[in-house]
Structure 1
Amino acid sequence: MFVQNQLLRLSQGQLNLLESCPHKFQNTYLEQLRPPTNPEYEEKQLLGSRFHLLMQQREMGLKIRSFLQTDSQLETWMRAFAITAPDILTPASASETFRESEHLRTLQVQNYLLTAIYDLLIADKQKAEILDWKTYRQPPNKRKLQNDWQTRLYMYVLAESSDYLPENISMTYWFVQSESKPHSIKFNYSSLQHQQTEKKLNQVLNKLTKWLQAYQQGEQFPQLPEGSKTCNYCQYASRCQRVSVNSKEKSSQDLPGVDSNLVNLANIQEVPL
């Protein structure tokens, strides 16, 4: 439960959920409801976590051969990634001053502590690059990925918590399970984007503050309009009285316990290790 006047920690996944459906944010993070999840989703989440752990161990200089020998899927992904992006796995150390896996940064904005965990941060005196590993098969539309809070928040936090100019910050997503070979999508940051993110972030946080104050008085967070397609795949649909019985049965058969609009960038891979 939410405690008034506490410093609320927010991740990119929570910001995405807050924009997607404020009421689901309430159910998930304030009331900590945890409906049963889809076993297939859990299996994919576990596989993504293992890949992240593998990359972290490798970055730390630990031996990973025995780890790969017991998991053919991870071995296939790692081999393909080593061929596609050898410069990432075997960097030119002389040109780098900082390199860390699972790099954590926090930034306080208003009464919120924004949290970002970078799968890999590579930086020198002039520039800094955030890398993020994704293990689901289909890369999203680039515009959708650019507008995702992970992209916006991660570069914003780095710019605000370091001496790097926005123009010297970039973020690259690596999709290691692409059909042919690992595929990357890179975004370069800018001062204009930084200003836009700051404005949008404060708008979202202002709304959250208002909703939290009302929540303390017994009011609920806003729900999506009736008939919203998002509700058809939400595990809280029946609780919110947003779909018919037939729709609920259909959605539970298709994706039991999983919101299709949220099984994306934010949720499968961001597992603290």
Structure 2
Amino acid sequence: MIHQLSQGHLQTLNGCPRKFQYLYLDHYTLPSLPQQLNRQRLGTDFHRLMHQESLGLDIAPLIAADGDMERWYQTFQTSPPPMISGRAESEHCRSVALGAFTLVGIYDRVIFGPTQAQIIDWKTYARPPEKKHLSQHWQTRLYPFLLAATSDYTPENICMTYWFAEGSEPPQYFSFAYGVEIHRQICDRLEAQLSRLQTWLDRYEQNPGDHPLPQIPQEMGRCSYCPFVHRCERFNPEAESQKLDVAGLLGAIASIPELPI
């Protein structure tokens, strides 16, 4: 049974508990198209490049191996996000235990200043998301929460910055301030969400067939685009006929973010 939760787990759980079950409890795998696999590989390679660069290692072979790596790294050199002064660490891990669960975050880079801390995350989305959408993502909430809960930095002295390798024009970043009230809201939300999850898991462990995790209301309109729509028996031929065409679908797949590392 799952006990360690990342921002990806929380985001899936928030979107649909049944999908969370299929992915993390039943371990169903999803097919991946070549475009998606290539995008994930590029994202992983860029994160590796930035990690090695922070350690002072030779990154020339990584840059030379792929044109996107060279272009993205050059973009970072010419248009970096605003960064505070301080000690920087890459692939930095923080965790907090809440009840039976451990919340974990791995930061692409975190800068520890004298009075402030800044979390930085590299994104290689084909198209950057809207800032409003990103502000509601669990990564934007969980990462500052973990740092505030495990350091001497007060919430108002923590911020999170996303930098986009594929930003169309400067600025190619979004920054989100943190604060005491946000921290309190996230604490309350985590406690409520994890309490519900524990109840669902207890019932699921007793008899998975009779006690699956809840489905979201079909009226929300997300089911027709979910890869588990048939498994949930929510397939609607009329809605299916209104989906994206093949070219549009491939474009949507290309926008799927890289796998977190």
Is 1:121 aligned with 2:116? no
**Maintained 8 Å contact 1:233/1:255:** no
Distance 2:6 2:245 in 1: 27
Q: Deviations over 1:29-54 (max 9, x none)?
A: 00111021232222111111111111
SS at 1:240 equivalent: coil
Q: Deviations over 1:243-268 (max 9, x none)?
A: 13565585795648x999xx76xxx3
Distance 1:186 1:242 in 2: 38
**Maintained 8 Å contact 2:229/2:235:** yes
Letter in 2 for 1:41: Q
Q: Deviations over 1:111-135 (max 9, x none)?
A: 1000001000111221110000011
Identical positions, percent: 38
Matched residue, 1:140 = 129
Q: CA RMSD in A?
A: 2.4
TM-score, normalised relative to structure 1: 0.86
Letter in 2 for 1:108: A
How far did residue 230 of structure 1 move? 1.3
Matched residue, 2:181 = 192
Q: Unmatched 5+ residue regions in structure 2?
A: none
**Maintained 8 Å contact 2:40/2:259:** no
Is 1:238 aligned with 2:233? no
SS at 1:187 equivalent: strand
Q: Unmatched 5+ residue regions in structure 1?
A: none
How far did residue 175 of structure 1 move? 0.8
TM-score, normalised relative to structure 2: 0.89
Letter in 2 for 1:192: E
Alignment partner of 2:74 out of 62, 79, 89: 79
Alignment of 1:1-273 (within 5 A): 2=1, 8-85=3-80, 96=86, 98-181=87-170, 183-218=172-207, 219-245=211-237, 247=239, 253=246, 255=249, 268-272=257-261
Distance 2:131 2:82 in 1: 23
Distance 2:240 2:82 in 1: 48
How far did residue 234 of structure 1 move? 1.2
How far did residue 87 of structure 1 move? 7.0
Letter in 2 for 1:236: F
SS at 2:106 equivalent: strand
Letter in 2 for 1:159: A
SS at 2:184 equivalent: helix
Letter in 2 for 1:238: H
**Maintained 8 Å contact 1:227/1:243:** no
Distance 1:67 1:121 in 2: 23
SS at 1:63 equivalent: coil
The structure-2 alpha-carbon separation of the partners of 1:86 and 1:175, relative to structure 1 and needing over 3 Å to count, comes to closer
Letter in 1 for 2:130: N
Q: Deviations over 1:149-170 (max 9, x none)?
A: 0010000000001111001111
The structure-2 alpha-carbon separation of the partners of 1:223 and 1:86, relative to structure 1 and needing over 3 Å to count, comes to closer
Distance 2:125 2:67 in 1: 16
Letter in 1 for 2:222: T
How far did residue 229 of structure 1 move? 2.2
Distance 1:101 1:199 in 2: 29
How far did residue 269 of structure 1 move? 3.4
